[in-house]
Amino acid sequence: ALPAGSLHVHCTDVDGEWLVWNEGGEYRMKRAHEKGDAALRGPAEAILLRLWGRTSDRSDELSPVGDEHVLAEWLAFAGM
């Protein structure tokens, strides 16, 4: 199942921000600076490695913000 909340992804080392959300059972993504229910901030490489499940939640390079449950759901989502 898709996560119910939205995730804002914000790269701190390059120009890159995205909002990912569930709409009608499909996930949507757009490049935008918009507030999500949860956010993940950090260097692009660290964000991608975390989204692909290659690093742990305890990465010192990443700053999670917002609803921890929503963030955990998106990080566990196999489609990312």
The answer to whether residues 40 and 9 touch, using CB atoms and an 8 Å cutoff, is yes
Decide: helix, strand or coil at residue 27.
Answer: strand
Q: Go through the domains of the chain in sequence order and give each one's CATH number.
A: 7-76 (3.30.1050.10)
Q: For 5-32, what is the mean pLDDT?
A: 95
Predicted confidence (pLDDT) per residue in 24-60, tens digit: 999 899 999 999 999 999 999 999 988 888 877 667 8
Q: For 5-11, what is the mean pLDDT?
A: 96
Q: For 10-27, what is the mean pLDDT?
A: 95
Percentage, residues of the chain above pLDDT 70:
94
Distance CA 43, CA 16 (A): 10
The full length of the chain comes to 80
| Bridge partners of residue 64, in order along the sequence | 40
Residues 6+ apart with CB under 8 A from 25: 2
**pLDDT at residue 58 in the model:** 65
